[in-house]
Structure 1
Amino acid sequence: MTEATNVHNWAPIVTWSKAESERSGTPLLLMLHGYGADEADLFSLAQTLPEEFTVASLRGPERTGPGYSWFPLRSDVSYAVENVKSATAAVTAWLDTVRGQHSSVTLLGFSQGMCMATSLARHRPHDYAAVVGLSGFVVDAGTEGNGFFYDAELAADQLPVFWGRDQADPVIPAEAVEYTATWLRTHSKLTKILYTGIWHGINAQEMAHVKEFLSMTVLKG
């Protein structure tokens, strides 16, 4: 089964922090897990975020090892920018079924989930209040993203983006980090913080910074 077929047949599985009766009018924060994980992986972080948010943690469409992914790794022969676009379109379609209940939508992605979060913002630049990227990257779409990613509009919007990482992260390739740093500086209102000793992970200090970032950017009004 191909990636495109999996996305086409995808039935989203979501874990919510609030009951449906408590979500109306609240800001939504969508969590996007990393490669080989699932919707439970990041969900415990919900308790560290401002209580005003309804948190939805979404499962990726592609079965991968012990968990799931959003698309194949760049090192995989089956990888293509089209995979990223297909996954982005599928998540956007699901978000369109719930966003009307909420005052805003914010994206939080870890590792490959950060690629998804930034891809969602590139696809529909005006739909999101902020993006949080943890130990992740932005996809280099080249000309293949034309007509799907609206980077110029995103740059004009200056969407607030938080990017936290450890310079000793052993997972994200150096060229992906370099591309991401350049892209975020020119396409977003960037808050970048480096951490020591978290490697390819997340710690309490980083989540405290994320909470402050969300309070100042999404909840300030």
Structure 2
Amino acid sequence: MQQIDADAVQWREGAGDDLLVVMHGLGSHEGDLFGLAPHLPERFTIASLRAPLPYGGGFAWFDFSPVDSDDHEAIDASADAVLRWLDSLERRFERVHLLGFSQGGAMAVQLARLAPERFASVVHLASFVHDGALPGDAALAARDPRIPLLTTIGELDDVIHRDKIERSSPWLDAHFDVDRRTYPRAHSIVAEELADVVAFLERV
């Protein structure tokens, strides 16, 4: 059973009653995306998580695959760990939002698929949707209104395989209220993208 290391979570207290759960990419760590915290809206409490699987010098949410895989065992184990961590929090937040980069973005969508009633919005950066169907997909698509989702794509991204992006785009459109942005960047986050993330979070 995967576990989120509660002692490794990096926190920023917010002025409101919204929690933003932040999930890093493959081989990275909880401190990576936490660098965005000073730029994000002050009303959000931010919790940046460490993925549970050691990978190189960092951590992973599930095994790397350059092509599509519909094996949900590893990603679901990590998603279940995040849900249990949320359940363990002493503070109850009115709304929980998800932000993930690359593998963390796939995790954010997977969490919404497993528990569509629990999340208020998703920020899906330089990422994809894990292939295959899940029992919660129909409930996710049926939510009214649908969960707002910001998805970003880099025209020069050579890490996320183009087939994954092309398959994921219509899937997201069928299950979320999608705001899609494209940038002339590789596998990274650029200033214009960060500004769009801030505007999205302020709107939701």
Common fold: TM-score over 0.5: yes
Q: Distance in 1 between matches of 2:12 and 2:191?
A: 19
TM-superposed CA distance for 1:116, in Å, is 0.4
Q: Does 1:82 align with 2:51?
A: no
1:37 aligned residue: 28
Q: Distance in 2 between matches of 1:124 and 1:100?
A: 19
Match of 1:171, SS state, is: coil
2:192 to 205, 208, 216: 205
Q: Does 1:162 align with 2:150?
A: yes
User: TM-score under structure 1 normalisation?
Assistant: 0.85
Q: Distance in 1 between matches of 2:89 and 2:163?
A: 36
1:139 to 99, 109, 130: 130
Of all paired residues, the percent bearing the same amino acid is 39
Equivalent residues in 2 for 1:1-221 (5 A)?
5=1, 7=2, 10-12=4-6, 13-18=8-13, 26-75=17-66, 80-98=71-89, 100-142=91-133, 145-146=134-135, 150-157=136-143, 158-196=146-184, 198-217=185-204
Task: Quickly say closer, same or farther: Cα 1:104–1:10, change in 2 above 3 A.
Answer: closer
Q: Which moved more, 1:56-65 or 1:161-170?
A: 161-170
Kindly indicate which of the two structures has a greater share of residues assigned to helix: 1
Q: Distance in 1 between matches of 2:90 and 2:62?
A: 24
Q: Distance in 2 between matches of 1:114 and 1:129?
A: 15
Match of 1:29, SS state, is: strand
TM-superposed CA distance for 1:160, in Å, is 0.3
CA-to-aligned-CA distance 1:48-78 (integer Å, 9 cap, x gap): 11011000000000000010000111259x9
Match of 1:85, SS state, is: helix
Over 6 Å off, 4+ runs? none
Q: Is the 8 A contact 2:4 2:85 kept in 1?
A: no
Q: Distance in 1 between matches of 2:39 and 2:128?
A: 23
Q: Distance in 1 between matches of 2:4 and 2:176?
A: 30
Match of 1:94, SS state, is: helix
Structure 2 gap segments, 5+ residues each: none
TM-superposed CA distance for 1:204, in Å, is 1.4
Q: Is the 8 A contact 2:66 2:160 kept in 1?
A: no
Across the aligned residues of Structure 1 and Structure 2, the Cα RMSD in angstroms comes to 2.0
The letter of the residue matching 1:155 is A
Equivalent residues, number: 200
Structure 1 gap segments, 5+ residues each: none
Q: Is the 8 A contact 1:32 1:113 kept in 2?
A: yes
CA-to-aligned-CA distance 1:168-191 (integer Å, 9 cap, x gap): 210001111011101111000000
